[in-house]
Structure 1
Amino acid sequence: MTEENCHLPPEIVEEILCNLPTKSLIRLRGVSKSWRSLISEHHFVRKHLSHAAQQKILILMPSPYANENMYYSQEIMPIKRGGYFCAPFSGSNYWEVFASCDGLLCVRVDLSIYIWNPYLKTYRKIPTPLGKQNYDDFIPSYLGFGYDSTRNDYKIVKLSRFRLGYMTETQVFSLKCDSWRKLDDFPPQDYRPLTSVFLNGSIHWLLATEIMGQNSFALFSFDLSDDKYREVRLPEYFPISPSNNNYIVNLHLCALKGMLCVLVEWKSCLVLWAMKDYYSDHDKSWTKILDIRLDLVLEKYCIPLGFKPFYFYENGEVMMGVVSDRRTELLICKDNTVLYRDIIFNKPSVMKYVFVHVESLVSPLRSCGKLETRNSTG
């Protein structure tokens, strides 16, 4: 169908195009100047993104063998496997994704940061942050990435550690302004970040410290619109008590179906908590959505190395990744039952860098209203 023989009203054409996959829209930009203009407009990109988030979800997993990524499609049951694509970043065979937002991947390559849309095949190298750089500053858990809707801007937040290992500085990079700026100290200074998640305009950090030989955890949010930190109460999981043979091993922060979630890993089970009403009293909003025994999740004699929830279905099922000393798997669980199991690798892999990801038309090359043209070759 060309523009000349199309007799549909413009608003109907826009609605049809909004429901097409990203790859199709990239090809359709060549149909006419008006279609190219429409598909590139901000309001169309945001509208298509809201459709795409409902239509297709991809889980990306960095390959442990080369600078390639494996991705899996979760469109239908059972999980359908995808293909490979090459990383466009030169100078290193090792790179890792530390965040995903609106189809944009934030990637660390050595001590450099890139924002990349693998479907548009466009990427942007981020300028070096301010001041002296330490390797710890670029560990993924110290970096956050999200969208500031009040300014239509994507931002990277970097935490720094110095002065005997304490975090004392926060820097924020604005994609629109193409610059970094320093903020006040990150609270609290004696905690180390474990994971970060972007949700509802804020980057949330799960932090840990050791007190009297036991891990203690805290949860803070950083609002991208006002640069303010706020403490968020964690769910009231059972007190830590090694003597009861069910002591806490680890916590993991994630976002599922628009909900802030915490996975509590005990010695004998996994418990997943969800904050179903983000803007209400946090103490009353946490709800347990999964409680499953580890012996059901892991095969006999397997040693657990890591767990990560990916997706929460409408019927209450939860998809999560499981890494043991023998293999890497995707599981779908509900209540205390494993409903589906798919082996990704017959060996351990790095599950913490796996992200739920959507196709989008959001370009990382927009800076101060100007669209640049650097493309990747992947």
Structure 2
Amino acid sequence: MRIAERKASRRLEMVSCPTARTRLLTDLPEETIIEILLRLPARTLASLRSVCTSWRNLISAPDFTCNHLRRSCLIAPSLTTPRIAYCTGAYRNGLRCSRIGLLSVRSILDDPSEPTKNDCFTEQRYYGIIGSCNGLLCLVDEHAFKYMHAILWNPCTGFTFESPEISGEVRFSGFGYDHLSDSYKIYAVTKKQGPSGFEFSTRIYTFGPTSTWRKIDDTPVALFGFPSDNSSRAVKKEGEFFGSSRLCTLNWCVNHVVIYFDLAKETYGHFPLPPRSEIGFPKWCTHLCVLRNCLSVCYLDGRTLEWIVWQMKEYGDAQSWTKLAVIPVPEKITYPGRYFQPLYISESDVLLVFCPSFGIVLCNLNDGSIDFSEIYGSGVRNKPVFSACVKYRITCIYHESLVSPNGLQSNSSKMLMHFIKSKPKPVDS
């Protein structure tokens, strides 16, 4: 018995000794270390990069980040915590500036009545949100309808990358992942004054060290009346990204159809939306989103003042549209607060919706109850000041990851780096 006690005491000494702990970790095969690290959340791994040079190189390696993303998508979704990114605008000294906030979905779901803390970033320039994909946020900096450039940002790692400027007013845009070439692309339709009037041009930018904007054929788009000025008010400017193992597309609602752009083949197609009432129906109240890995659409029924949410179980198959939810518009939400944008649906069937008048709204699809989440931060009544009349989307969902396209290094300007470095201490959920 005494021998067993001495052995147990010796084991405890080995565990409590920093030197022994380091030596034992060093003795582990690299494959074992990689397997252990792959099981940790993205935010934890981002912090562990500062442990030593070898860990930084390992965690930042493209193969590791790709494997971690694949594991988090297929095996353990908890490794990439879902968050909400929102953008608000204001004027300071006559200049438009922006504030980007990052909210924890888990904190909102756990206790909506308790104000949710957020990470805030401020800058003296205005940034809009084009979209998100694989933990990357695509922002845009546009100047007086003359030019714009895109900024790729991974809030988890601090990675930033700017595209070259593109001239003209951006009428429609989109951001997503091309699974065939393993690359991230921006789609943009620009409008410029030409000799015979306004001219439209469709261009693609693939994030890379030597990439430039290149023009592509936009004739098929014109067949659907997109992107003419007549349709611009009825079409949401940013395409909704949908990705799967067999295709990756950007999607827009135009009249009664969904027009999509295949990021890999760089071709267009379309399919019909589910049936809807046209009585008192404002076209701008149609919203595409992705819920539970299905392309979904939400629109306001003009007769009943209810929000109808549909899911497309098989992408591109119009027969697979399935009604997911019918949500009565709360009396306290009045026009223009009836602008609803679905963001995320939890495992317990709670739908998170964005409403400019109230911020984040929680709709319980099981009992029909509706709750309003409080948010810490600048703005009236503990809510950021949202505006329904903005050119770019206000909110989007992103999942934390370690991704940086093709191992690119940050190339952003000093101004943008100041914007990124103004981040306060992160709030874990």
* Common fold: TM-score over 0.5: yes
| Distance in 2 separating the partners of 1:165 and 1:316 | 50
Please state if 1:34 is matched with 2:54: yes
CA distance in 2, matches of 1:293, 1:59: 24
Match of 2:213 in 1: 180
Structure with higher strand content? 1
Q: Work out the CA distance in 2 between the residues paired with 1:235 and 1:22.
A: 37
Task: Answer 1 or 2: higher relative contact order, Cα 8 Å, separation at least 6.
Answer: 2
Equivalenced residue count is 348
Q: Distance in 1 between matches of 2:282 and 2:176?
A: 34
Alignment of 1:321 onto 2:354: yes
Q: Structure 1 residues 150 and 364, CA, compared in 2 at 3 Å: closer, same or farther?
A: closer
CA contact (8 A) 2:62 2:407 kept: no
Q: Which segment drifts farther, 28-37 or 303-312?
A: 28-37
Give, in angstroms, the shift of residue 364 of structure 1. Answer: 5.2
Structure 1 vs Structure 2 CA RMSD: 3.0
CA separation in 1, counterparts of 2:88 and 2:152?
19
Kindly tell me: are residues 286 and 165 of structure 1, through their superposed partners in 2, closer, same or farther at Cα, counting changes over 3 Å?
farther
> TM-score with structure 2 length normalisation?
0.72
Letter in 2 for 1:72: L
Q: Using the TM superposition, give the Cα deviation of residue 158 of structure 1 relative to its aligned residue in structure 2, in angstroms.
A: 0.6
* Structure-2 change in CA distance of 1:13 and 1:247 (3 Å): same
The superposition leaves residues 7-44 of structure 1 with CA deviations (integer Å, 9 ceiling, x where unpaired) of 44433322321232333323322334432232122221
Give the C-alpha shift of residue 202 in structure 1: 2.8
CA distance in 1, matches of 2:333, 2:264: 48
> SS of the counterpart of 2:24?
coil
Q: Cα deviations across residues 283-342 of structure 1 (Å, max 9, x unaligned)?
A: 221111011221x3x416564252110112234332211233xx3342233167124321
Is the 8 Å Cα contact of residues 167 and 186 (structure 1) preserved in structure 2?
no
Other-structure match for 1:274: 311
1:309 correspondence with 2:342: yes
CA distance in 1 between partners of 2:213 and 2:185 (Å):
10
Report if the CA contact (8 A) 2:102-2:118 is conserved.
yes
Partner Cα separation in structure 2 for residue 276 and residue 52 of structure 1: 22
Tell me the residue number matched to 1:262: 297
Find the aligned partners of 2:371 and 2:199 in 1 and give their Cα distance: 41
Q: Report SS of the residue matched to 1:173.
A: strand
Alignment map for 1:171-250 (pairs within 5 Å)? 171-176=203-208, 177-189=210-222, 190-191=225-226, 192=232, 193-194=235-236, 195-200=238-243, 201-208=247-254, 216-238=255-277, 240-242=278-280, 250=285
Whole-Å separation in 1 of the counterparts to 2:46 and 2:333? 48
- Which residue in 1 is equivalent to 2:164? 127
| Post-superposition offset of 1:186 | 5.0
Pairwise CA distance, 1:358: 1.6
Asked if 1:72 is matched to 2:103, the reply is yes
Q: 339-348 or 185-194, which moves further after superposition?
A: 339-348
CA distance in 2, matches of 1:82, 1:39: 28
Contact 2:351–2:364 (Cα < 8 Å) also in 1: yes
Select 1:156's aligned residue among 175, 186, 211. 186
Aligned residue in 2 for 1:5: 24
CA distance in 2, matches of 1:169, 1:235: 31
Give 3-state SS (helix, strand or coil) of 2:356's partner: strand
Structure ID, larger Rg: 2
**Separation in structure 1 between the aligned mates of residue 367 and residue 306 of structure 2, nearest angstrom:** 10
Which residue pairs with 1:360 in the alignment?
401
* SS of structure 1 residue aligned to 2:314: coil
Hey, what does 2:365 align to over in structure 1? 334
SS in structure 1 of the partner of residue 45 of structure 2: helix
Cα pair distance change 1:35/1:185, threshold 3 Å: same
Q: Mark the CA change 1:249 to 1:70 in structure 2 (over 3 Å): closer, same or farther.
A: closer
Residue 64 of structure 1: SS of its match in structure 2?
A: strand
Query: Which structure shows the bigger proportion of residues in helix conformation?
Result: 2
Kept after mapping to 2: 8 A contact 1:219/1:233: yes
Q: 1:360: Cα distance to partner?
A: 1.5
Q: Which residue identity is paired with 2:136? A: L
Which of the numbers 177, 195, 203 marks the counterpart of 1:147? 177
Question: 1:160, 1:14 → 2: CA distance?
Answer: 45
Question: CA, structure 1 residues 166+334, in 2 after alignment: closer, same or farther (shift >3 Å)?
Answer: farther
1:81 pairs, out of 116, 121, 125, with: 116
For 2:24, the aligned partner's letter is N
Q: Distance between the aligned counterparts of 2:158 and 2:290, measured in 1?
A: 26
Verify the 8 A CA contact 1:248 1:266 in the aligned structure 2.
no
Name stretches of at least 5 consecutive residues in structure 2 with no aligned partner: 1-17, 91-96, 143-147, 227-231, 423-429
Say which of 179, 202, 208 aligns to 1:170.
Answer: 202
8 Å contact kept, 1:161–1:167: yes
Aligned to 2:373, what secondary structure does the other structure show? strand
- The residue number in structure 2 matching 1:211 is none
Q: How big is the shift at 1:204?
A: 2.6
Corresponding residue for residue 57 of structure 1: 82
How much does 1:231 deviate? 0.9
1:45 partner SS? helix
Tell whether 2:151 aligns with 1:114.
Answer: yes
Among 31, 37, 40, the residue aligned to 1:17: 37
Distance change >3 Å, CA 302–CA 226, structure 1 → 2: closer
Which moved further from structure 2: 100-109 or 351-360? 351-360
Give runs of aligned pairs for residues 276-291 of structure 1, distance below 5 A: 276-278=313-315, 282-291=317-326
| Aligned partner of residue 156 in structure 1, secondary structure | strand
How far, CA to CA, are the matches of 1:166 and 1:334 in structure 2?
Answer: 46
SS in 2 for 1:124: strand
